[in-house]
Amino acid sequence: MDKSAIRILWAEDNLGDILLVKEAFKQAGLAPHLNVVDNGVEATDFLFHRGRYAHALPPQLIILDLNMPRKNGREVIKDIKTDPTLMQIPLIVLTSSNDDLDVLHGLEPNRCLYLVKPTTFQALIDLAKQINNFWLSIVNPDTKS
């Protein structure tokens, strides 16, 4: 694993989406270090270093599905908002709806991105590139995409 690869926590409960997005990153020539959890409880445990995630390296970017079991993405965002350190981690919200933009209220606008899940593989590759460009704009705002 490339030590310079961005560490991403990705909370997504759809195995098909996970496999497709991993392949999209590969097709886009990107190799992030992905930690994937399949529900909101696991995401919160990872972020707060609880249980089996006690020694996990903190993510540099969070990708969060809004509609997950056990604890939905909105609830995870509420938890993120309570922690000043977590609030500094760039956040990408992925959802199948355009109606949930208000969920990001209270988070720093230039550190958050709201994306609707694409419906084609080429659009997934484009999404992977958007995620990379978003990350580069946070790390180095002078980076040209």
- How is the chain split into domains, by residue range? 7-139
CA distance 72 to 77: 9
Over range 79-88, report the average pLDDT: 88
Predicted confidence at residue 144, as pLDDT, reads 46
**What pLDDT is stored for residue 6 in this prediction?**
81
φ/ψ of 118, rounded to 5, equals -70, 165
Distance, CA of 54 to CA of 128 (rounded, Å):
28
pLDDT at residue number 1: 43
For 19-74, the pLDDT digits (tens) are 887 888 888 777 778 899 999 999 999 999 999 999 999 999 898 888 888 888 88
Backbone φ and ψ for 116, nearest 5 degrees, come out as: -85, 135
Pick the CATH number of 7-139 from 3.40.50.2300, 1.10.1530.10, 3.10.450.40, 3.40.430.10: 3.40.50.2300
User: What's the confidence (pLDDT) of residue 93?
Assistant: 83
Place of tokens 């593989």: 121
